[in-house]
Amino acid sequence: MTNKQLLLQLQKEQDLPDSQLKQLLETFSSEDLKYASLLAREVKIEHYSNKIYLRGIVEFSNICKNNCYYCGLRRDNKNIARYQLNSEQIVSCCKNGYKLGLRTFVLQGGENYIYDQGKLTSIIKEIKKEMPDCAVTLGVGEKSRELYQQWFDSGADRYLLRHETINPVHYSKLHPSDQVLENRVRCLNDLKDIGYQTGAGMMVGSPYQTFDNLVEDLRFLKEFNPEMVGLGPFIPHSQTPFANEATGSYQLSLLLLAIVRMMLVKVLLPATTALETVNPEGRKLGLLSGCNVIMPNISPMKNRKSYKLYNGMAEIDDNAEEKIRQIKTMVESIGDRIVIDRGDYKRMKI
Protein backbone atom coordinates (compact mmCIF):
# COMPACT_ATOMS: atom_id res chain seq x y z
CA MET A 1 0.00 0.00 0.00
CA THR A 2 1.13 3.58 -0.60
CA ASN A 3 1.68 5.88 2.36
CA LYS A 4 -1.40 7.88 1.41
CA GLN A 5 -3.52 4.72 1.49
CA LEU A 6 -2.05 3.81 4.87
CA LEU A 7 -2.87 7.24 6.26
CA LEU A 8 -6.44 7.01 5.02
CA GLN A 9 -6.78 3.60 6.62
CA LEU A 10 -5.32 4.94 9.86
CA GLN A 11 -7.87 7.74 9.89
CA LYS A 12 -10.70 5.27 9.29
CA GLU A 13 -9.63 2.47 11.66
CA GLN A 14 -7.85 4.59 14.31
CA ASP A 15 -4.99 2.10 14.09
CA LEU A 16 -2.54 0.35 11.75
CA PRO A 17 -0.38 -2.75 12.14
CA ASP A 18 3.08 -2.03 13.53
CA SER A 19 4.82 -2.83 10.24
CA GLN A 20 2.73 -0.23 8.44
CA LEU A 21 3.30 2.39 11.13
CA LYS A 22 7.00 1.75 10.68
CA GLN A 23 6.73 2.13 6.92
CA LEU A 24 5.09 5.52 7.38
CA LEU A 25 7.74 6.76 9.81
CA GLU A 26 10.61 5.51 7.66
CA THR A 27 9.49 6.50 4.20
CA PHE A 28 7.15 9.50 4.42
CA SER A 29 7.62 12.30 1.89
CA SER A 30 6.73 15.96 2.42
CA GLU A 31 3.54 15.28 0.44
CA ASP A 32 2.69 12.41 2.79
CA LEU A 33 3.23 14.72 5.77
CA LYS A 34 0.87 17.30 4.29
CA TYR A 35 -1.74 14.63 3.76
CA ALA A 36 -1.28 13.22 7.28
CA SER A 37 -1.73 16.72 8.71
CA LEU A 38 -4.88 17.29 6.68
CA LEU A 39 -6.44 14.01 7.85
CA ALA A 40 -5.42 14.59 11.48
CA ARG A 41 -6.88 18.07 11.43
CA GLU A 42 -10.18 16.66 10.14
CA VAL A 43 -10.24 14.35 13.17
CA LYS A 44 -9.42 17.21 15.55
CA ILE A 45 -12.21 19.35 14.04
CA GLU A 46 -14.68 16.49 14.30
CA HIS A 47 -14.04 16.02 18.02
CA TYR A 48 -13.05 19.49 19.26
CA SER A 49 -14.33 21.76 16.44
CA ASN A 50 -12.04 24.74 15.96
CA LYS A 51 -11.38 25.17 19.70
CA ILE A 52 -7.89 25.58 21.07
CA TYR A 53 -7.24 25.33 24.81
CA LEU A 54 -4.55 27.26 26.64
CA ARG A 55 -2.65 26.07 29.73
CA GLY A 56 -0.46 28.40 31.74
CA ILE A 57 2.81 26.77 32.77
CA VAL A 58 4.37 27.74 36.09
CA GLU A 59 7.94 26.45 36.27
CA PHE A 60 8.03 26.66 40.03
CA SER A 61 11.40 25.05 40.74
CA ASN A 62 14.39 23.84 38.71
CA ILE A 63 15.84 21.80 41.54
CA CYS A 64 16.04 18.16 40.48
CA LYS A 65 17.47 15.07 42.14
CA ASN A 66 17.54 13.19 38.85
CA ASN A 67 20.23 13.05 36.22
CA CYS A 68 18.46 12.36 32.93
CA TYR A 69 21.17 12.52 30.25
CA TYR A 70 19.10 14.79 27.98
CA CYS A 71 17.91 17.51 30.35
CA GLY A 72 19.52 20.81 31.31
CA LEU A 73 18.04 20.66 34.82
CA ARG A 74 19.88 17.40 35.67
CA ARG A 75 21.54 17.50 39.07
CA ASP A 76 25.09 17.36 37.67
CA ASN A 77 24.60 20.62 35.77
CA LYS A 78 26.39 23.02 38.11
CA ASN A 79 26.00 25.88 35.65
CA ILE A 80 22.50 27.00 36.52
CA ALA A 81 21.18 29.05 39.39
CA ARG A 82 18.76 26.79 41.25
CA TYR A 83 15.54 28.39 42.51
CA GLN A 84 12.24 27.52 44.10
CA LEU A 85 9.18 29.74 44.14
CA ASN A 86 7.19 30.05 47.34
CA SER A 87 3.46 29.48 47.61
CA GLU A 88 2.56 33.17 47.24
CA GLN A 89 4.65 33.50 44.07
CA ILE A 90 3.09 30.40 42.52
CA VAL A 91 -0.49 31.43 43.33
CA SER A 92 0.21 34.95 42.11
CA CYS A 93 1.44 33.63 38.71
CA CYS A 94 -1.83 31.70 38.41
CA LYS A 95 -3.95 34.70 39.34
CA ASN A 96 -2.21 36.79 36.68
CA GLY A 97 -2.82 33.96 34.22
CA TYR A 98 -6.50 33.91 35.19
CA LYS A 99 -6.80 37.59 34.24
CA LEU A 100 -5.33 36.71 30.84
CA GLY A 101 -8.07 34.12 30.27
CA LEU A 102 -6.27 30.95 31.39
CA ARG A 103 -8.33 28.27 33.15
CA THR A 104 -5.72 25.53 33.53
CA PHE A 105 -2.49 25.91 35.46
CA VAL A 106 0.35 23.47 34.99
CA LEU A 107 2.64 23.35 38.00
CA GLN A 108 5.87 21.99 36.63
CA GLY A 109 9.14 21.41 38.39
CA GLY A 110 12.18 19.20 38.66
CA GLU A 111 11.94 16.15 40.89
CA ASN A 112 12.64 17.09 44.47
CA TYR A 113 11.21 16.57 47.92
CA ILE A 114 10.84 20.21 48.91
CA TYR A 115 7.16 20.43 48.05
CA ASP A 116 6.17 16.89 49.02
CA GLN A 117 5.49 17.42 52.74
CA GLY A 118 2.22 19.26 52.36
CA LYS A 119 3.50 22.33 50.54
CA LEU A 120 2.19 21.40 47.10
CA THR A 121 -1.02 20.13 48.71
CA SER A 122 -1.73 23.53 50.22
CA ILE A 123 -0.82 25.32 46.96
CA ILE A 124 -3.29 23.16 45.02
CA LYS A 125 -6.01 23.86 47.61
CA GLU A 126 -5.29 27.59 47.50
CA ILE A 127 -5.50 27.76 43.69
CA LYS A 128 -8.76 25.78 43.66
CA LYS A 129 -10.23 27.95 46.42
CA GLU A 130 -9.32 31.23 44.72
CA MET A 131 -10.25 30.05 41.21
CA PRO A 132 -12.77 27.20 41.49
CA ASP A 133 -13.45 27.15 37.75
CA CYS A 134 -9.83 26.23 36.97
CA ALA A 135 -8.06 22.93 36.47
CA VAL A 136 -4.71 22.17 38.08
CA THR A 137 -2.20 19.99 36.26
CA LEU A 138 0.92 18.69 37.97
CA GLY A 139 4.23 17.76 36.37
CA VAL A 140 6.59 16.89 39.18
CA GLY A 141 7.76 13.42 38.27
CA GLU A 142 7.74 10.02 39.93
CA LYS A 143 6.14 9.91 43.39
CA SER A 144 4.42 7.38 45.62
CA ARG A 145 0.83 6.41 44.96
CA GLU A 146 -0.09 7.86 48.35
CA LEU A 147 1.27 11.27 47.42
CA TYR A 148 -0.49 11.20 44.04
CA GLN A 149 -3.70 10.35 45.88
CA GLN A 150 -3.19 13.17 48.40
CA TRP A 151 -2.71 15.73 45.63
CA PHE A 152 -5.72 14.39 43.76
CA ASP A 153 -7.85 14.63 46.90
CA SER A 154 -6.66 18.24 47.31
CA GLY A 155 -8.06 19.12 43.90
CA ALA A 156 -5.40 18.32 41.29
CA ASP A 157 -7.09 17.28 38.05
CA ARG A 158 -4.36 16.21 35.66
CA TYR A 159 -0.81 14.91 35.68
CA LEU A 160 1.87 15.03 33.01
CA LEU A 161 4.53 12.32 33.11
CA ARG A 162 6.08 11.49 29.76
CA HIS A 163 7.19 7.88 29.51
CA GLU A 164 10.09 9.11 27.27
CA THR A 165 10.50 5.67 25.64
CA ILE A 166 8.69 2.43 26.41
CA ASN A 167 11.67 0.29 25.45
CA PRO A 168 13.62 -0.59 28.64
CA VAL A 169 16.98 -0.81 26.84
CA HIS A 170 16.45 2.56 25.19
CA TYR A 171 15.26 3.96 28.53
CA SER A 172 18.53 2.86 30.14
CA LYS A 173 20.48 4.77 27.49
CA LEU A 174 18.67 8.00 28.37
CA HIS A 175 18.81 7.69 32.15
CA PRO A 176 21.25 6.54 34.84
CA SER A 177 20.62 3.12 36.37
CA ASP A 178 18.73 4.43 39.41
CA GLN A 179 15.94 5.63 37.10
CA VAL A 180 14.04 2.70 35.67
CA LEU A 181 11.19 2.43 33.20
CA GLU A 182 9.30 0.08 35.49
CA ASN A 183 8.73 2.79 38.07
CA ARG A 184 7.73 5.32 35.42
CA VAL A 185 5.06 2.92 34.16
CA ARG A 186 3.96 2.15 37.74
CA CYS A 187 3.44 5.87 38.24
CA LEU A 188 1.43 6.23 35.03
CA ASN A 189 -0.81 3.33 36.01
CA ASP A 190 -1.33 4.73 39.52
CA LEU A 191 -2.18 8.18 38.17
CA LYS A 192 -4.75 6.85 35.76
CA ASP A 193 -6.19 4.51 38.36
CA ILE A 194 -6.57 7.34 40.88
CA GLY A 195 -8.57 9.30 38.33
CA TYR A 196 -6.19 11.91 36.98
CA GLN A 197 -6.44 12.91 33.35
CA THR A 198 -3.00 11.54 32.60
CA GLY A 199 -0.41 12.59 30.04
CA ALA A 200 2.32 10.35 28.61
CA GLY A 201 4.62 11.01 25.68
CA MET A 202 8.11 10.98 24.27
CA MET A 203 10.83 12.99 22.62
CA VAL A 204 11.34 12.46 18.91
CA GLY A 205 14.90 11.82 17.76
CA SER A 206 16.32 11.24 21.23
CA PRO A 207 19.76 9.60 21.10
CA TYR A 208 19.72 5.86 20.23
CA GLN A 209 16.02 5.97 19.30
CA THR A 210 15.06 3.68 16.40
CA PHE A 211 11.93 3.62 14.24
CA ASP A 212 11.03 0.38 16.00
CA ASN A 213 11.19 2.23 19.33
CA LEU A 214 8.78 4.86 18.03
CA VAL A 215 6.38 2.18 16.84
CA GLU A 216 6.57 0.62 20.32
CA ASP A 217 5.80 4.04 21.79
CA LEU A 218 2.75 4.42 19.55
CA ARG A 219 1.56 0.95 20.50
CA PHE A 220 1.98 1.80 24.18
CA LEU A 221 0.05 5.06 23.74
CA LYS A 222 -2.77 3.27 21.95
CA GLU A 223 -3.06 0.72 24.75
CA PHE A 224 -2.55 3.04 27.71
CA ASN A 225 -4.95 5.54 26.14
CA PRO A 226 -3.77 8.65 27.99
CA GLU A 227 -5.98 11.74 28.02
CA MET A 228 -2.97 13.88 27.02
CA VAL A 229 0.15 13.26 24.97
CA GLY A 230 3.28 15.43 25.14
CA LEU A 231 5.46 14.98 22.10
CA GLY A 232 8.22 17.12 20.63
CA PRO A 233 11.70 16.90 19.13
CA PHE A 234 14.76 16.18 21.25
CA ILE A 235 17.03 19.24 21.39
CA PRO A 236 20.53 18.96 22.86
CA HIS A 237 21.56 20.99 25.88
CA SER A 238 25.20 22.09 26.04
CA GLN A 239 25.68 21.13 29.70
CA THR A 240 24.56 17.50 29.36
CA PRO A 241 26.16 14.25 28.16
CA PHE A 242 24.08 14.62 24.98
CA ALA A 243 25.51 18.06 24.15
CA ASN A 244 26.80 16.93 20.75
CA GLU A 245 23.83 14.82 19.68
CA ALA A 246 21.65 15.84 16.75
CA THR A 247 18.34 17.67 17.13
CA GLY A 248 15.24 15.58 16.40
CA SER A 249 13.37 16.17 13.16
CA TYR A 250 10.40 18.51 13.37
CA GLN A 251 8.87 16.89 10.27
CA LEU A 252 8.93 13.49 11.98
CA SER A 253 7.52 15.13 15.12
CA LEU A 254 4.65 16.59 13.09
CA LEU A 255 3.95 13.24 11.46
CA LEU A 256 3.87 11.58 14.88
CA LEU A 257 1.50 14.24 16.22
CA ALA A 258 -0.80 13.58 13.27
CA ILE A 259 -0.62 9.82 13.86
CA VAL A 260 -1.33 10.25 17.59
CA ARG A 261 -4.38 12.41 16.77
CA MET A 262 -5.69 9.68 14.45
CA MET A 263 -4.98 6.82 16.90
CA LEU A 264 -6.34 8.61 20.01
CA VAL A 265 -9.02 10.80 18.48
CA LYS A 266 -10.02 12.68 21.62
CA VAL A 267 -6.56 13.22 23.03
CA LEU A 268 -5.53 16.65 24.36
CA LEU A 269 -2.45 17.28 22.26
CA PRO A 270 -0.24 20.32 22.82
CA ALA A 271 1.82 21.95 20.11
CA THR A 272 4.95 21.94 22.26
CA THR A 273 7.55 24.58 23.02
CA ALA A 274 10.23 22.23 21.63
CA LEU A 275 8.48 22.27 18.27
CA GLU A 276 8.52 26.06 18.28
CA THR A 277 12.17 26.05 19.32
CA VAL A 278 13.28 24.07 16.26
CA ASN A 279 10.98 25.94 13.87
CA PRO A 280 9.47 29.40 14.53
CA GLU A 281 6.32 28.21 12.76
CA GLY A 282 6.33 25.01 14.80
CA ARG A 283 3.26 25.68 16.91
CA LYS A 284 1.18 26.66 13.92
CA LEU A 285 2.31 23.55 12.04
CA GLY A 286 1.43 21.54 15.15
CA LEU A 287 -2.12 22.91 15.16
CA LEU A 288 -2.33 22.12 11.46
CA SER A 289 -1.31 18.52 12.28
CA GLY A 290 -4.05 17.88 14.84
CA CYS A 291 -2.89 19.61 18.01
CA ASN A 292 -5.53 21.38 20.12
CA VAL A 293 -3.60 22.76 23.10
CA ILE A 294 -0.97 25.48 23.57
CA MET A 295 0.85 25.97 26.85
CA PRO A 296 2.20 29.50 27.30
CA ASN A 297 4.75 30.09 30.01
CA ILE A 298 3.45 32.24 32.87
CA SER A 299 6.50 31.90 35.14
CA PRO A 300 8.20 35.02 36.51
CA MET A 301 10.49 36.46 33.79
CA LYS A 302 13.52 36.50 36.06
CA ASN A 303 13.53 32.71 36.57
CA ARG A 304 13.05 31.67 32.98
CA LYS A 305 16.68 31.59 31.91
CA SER A 306 17.30 29.10 34.73
CA TYR A 307 14.67 26.70 33.41
CA LYS A 308 16.28 25.63 30.19
CA LEU A 309 15.67 21.97 29.45
CA TYR A 310 17.52 22.37 26.12
CA ASN A 311 19.42 24.97 24.07
CA GLY A 312 17.45 27.91 22.71
CA MET A 313 14.26 27.02 24.59
CA ALA A 314 11.60 29.35 23.17
CA GLU A 315 9.56 31.75 25.32
CA ILE A 316 12.39 32.94 27.49
CA ASP A 317 11.90 36.50 26.26
CA ASP A 318 8.15 36.98 25.88
CA ASN A 319 5.98 37.95 28.81
CA ALA A 320 2.75 35.98 29.18
CA GLU A 321 0.45 38.75 28.00
CA GLU A 322 2.45 39.41 24.84
CA LYS A 323 2.84 35.69 24.15
CA ILE A 324 -0.89 35.03 24.49
CA ARG A 325 -1.58 37.92 22.10
CA GLN A 326 0.77 36.37 19.54
CA ILE A 327 -0.76 32.93 20.01
CA LYS A 328 -4.26 34.35 19.52
CA THR A 329 -3.28 36.00 16.24
CA MET A 330 -1.63 32.81 15.00
CA VAL A 331 -4.57 30.62 16.04
CA GLU A 332 -7.07 32.88 14.29
CA SER A 333 -4.92 32.99 11.14
CA ILE A 334 -5.66 29.30 10.58
CA GLY A 335 -9.36 29.55 11.41
CA ASP A 336 -9.18 28.19 14.95
CA ARG A 337 -10.15 30.06 18.11
CA ILE A 338 -8.97 30.17 21.68
CA VAL A 339 -11.62 29.36 24.24
CA ILE A 340 -11.68 30.41 27.88
CA ASP A 341 -12.33 26.98 29.29
CA ARG A 342 -10.69 24.32 31.45
CA GLY A 343 -10.54 22.17 28.32
CA ASP A 344 -11.11 18.79 29.89
CA TYR A 345 -10.84 15.51 28.04
CA LYS A 346 -14.09 14.89 26.17
CA ARG A 347 -15.38 11.40 26.60
CA MET A 348 -18.41 12.28 24.50
CA LYS A 349 -18.54 14.03 21.17
CA ILE A 350 -19.21 17.78 21.51
Q: Is 234 in the site for ligand 5AD (CB under 6 A)?
A: yes
In the bound state with ligand 5AD, the residue whose beta carbon lies nearer, of 60 and 234, is 234
Q: CA nearest 309: which of 235, 207, 249?
A: 235
d(CA 270, CA 295): 7
66 binds, among ligand 5AD, ligand SF4, none (CB under 5 to 8 A by kind): ligand SF4
Contact characters 259-298, ligand 5AD, x per CB under 6 A: ---------------x------------------------
- Which residue of 85, 107, 203, 263 would you call a contact of ligand 5AD, by CB under 6 A? 203
- Spatial contact of 229 and 345, defined as CB atoms under 8 Å apart: no
Minimum gap (Å) between residue 282 Cβ and ligand 5AD: 12
Rounded to the nearest 5 degrees, what angle is found at the Cα of 20, between the Cα atoms of 233 and 28?
A: 50
Q: Is 66 in the site for ligand SF4 (CB under 6 A)?
A: yes
Binders of ligand SF4 among residues 99 to 118 (CB under 6 A) are: 110-111
Contact characters 21-60, ligand SF4, x per CB under 6 A: ----------------------------------------
- Spatial contact of 231 and 286, defined as CB atoms under 8 Å apart: no
- Which residue of 71, 257, 258, 263 would you call a contact of ligand 5AD, by CB under 6 A? 71
- Which residue of 74, 143, 163, 261 would you call a contact of ligand SF4, by CB under 6 A? 74
Is 169 strand, coil or helix? helix
The per-residue DSSP string of 230-290 comes to EEEE----TTSTTTTSPPPPHHHHHHHHHHHHHHSTT-B-B--HHHHHH-TTHHHHHHTTT
Minimum gap (Å) between residue 337 Cβ and ligand SF4: 33
Enumerate the β-bridge partners of residue 197: 158
| Angle of the 3-13 helix axis to the 250-263 helix axis, nearest 10 | 40
Is 298 strand, coil or helix? coil
111 binds, among ligand 5AD, ligand SF4, none (CB under 5 to 8 A by kind): ligand SF4
Query: For binding to ligand 5AD (CB under 6 A), which residues are involved?
Result: 70-71, 162, 164, 203, 232, 234-235, 237, 274, 309-310
